[in-house]
Structure formats: C-alpha cells, structure tokens
Structure 1
Amino acid sequence: MLAMATTPSPNYGFGVGNVQSLGGGYNRWNVYDGNCRVVDGLTTNGNPCTQGMFGCSPPPIKFNRYTSSYNGGVYSCYPDSSAENCGNDPVSVCVSSNGS
C-alpha cells in the first residue's frame, strides 16, 4: 500500500478517486485537491455519467469532465498512470487546475 500522496498527481490540480461502494446500491467518488483533502464528490445510486458532476467518454468509459458543485467551474479530466493514492483511495483520473 502506498503512503498518502502529497498530491494526486504532480501535473494536475485535482484528482478523482476510484469508486467506493457505500452499500445499498450507493457509490461515491471523491475529488481531492493537491494536498489529498476531499474538496468535492458525488454519491449516487445512479450512473455517475448522468448526474451532472462528471462527463464520460465513449467506451471504455472514463471521466473526461468534472463540474465543481461549489463554483460551477468545468474542468477537463485525464487518465494519469503516475497518480498515487490519497489515503487508501487510488487516484487514476486527474483534473486540470484551470477551469475550461
């Protein structure tokens, strides 16, 4: 297990963690800042691609857009194999630090 990263990825401002099952059909995706603090996230029992926070690519499905629930900023998302963990949550999608 990797130690907590100091940043989800050195190249981006935010990171999206992997899906976390909460039980009862609900799942959660955390959005982390550069210090691995949860700054946003989505909890749903539906499709995360249709909830408004994340946009998704065609298959194979990956998050390609993040819309902040706090400021409405829209950010581009990219897969990043160099991203690390925030705690026990692997971060595999990173978000540009500039709104698009």
Structure 2
Amino acid sequence: MTKGLAAIASVLLLTGAGAYAADWPAFNALDTDGNGQIDRIEYQKNVGKTKIEYAPNFAAMDEDSNNGVDEQEWAAAEKLTKSYTARCREASASWCKDAK
C-alpha cells in the first residue's frame, strides 16, 4: 500500500513539474524537433531568438549530462532564473546591471 501511494505521489510530482516547464514558452520554441528535450545544438541555434532576460548556461541546466535538457531540468532552470532576477533587482552592489 505504501509503495503504491509513493508511486502515485511521484507520478503526480513529476507530471506537475513537466507541465510547469512546458508553460514556459521558450521551452517549446527551443525544442525545434518536438521530442520533449532541448539538445545542445537546438539551444545554441535558438536561444538568442527567445526573450529570456538571463538565459541559463546549457551545461548548468543539463543536470544528468546527457547532452539534453528535459522539462524537469528546464523547470529547475526557470526557477533559478526567476530567483536570480529577483535577487538581482534587490541588490545594491554593482554585480547586477539592474541593481538599486
């Protein structure tokens, strides 16, 4: 019973993370072959066309080093990017062009 509940919870969590990533329009724009994963070449060719203010580094997003970024890795990068932007705007030091 416990294993079944854990499996269901895992599926729900993974499904939610994927849906969240797919809501970031840049993921779909960068995934030009539509396979649900952005490879390094897709990223390099198309990241400049997106309107991502602070585009994350591909290698940093590719947590499992498989030369592709799936929706879960993209969602983690989106969260980090949003966090960076918020921290940047709150900064008083010169490390951020948007600092106070």
Q: TM-score, normalised on structure 1?
A: 0.30
More helix by share: 2
More strand by share: 1
Say which structure, 1 or 2, has more relative contact order (CA 8 Å, 6+ apart).
1
Q: Larger Cα Rg: Structure 1 or Structure 2?
A: 2
Q: TM-score, normalised on structure 2?
A: 0.30
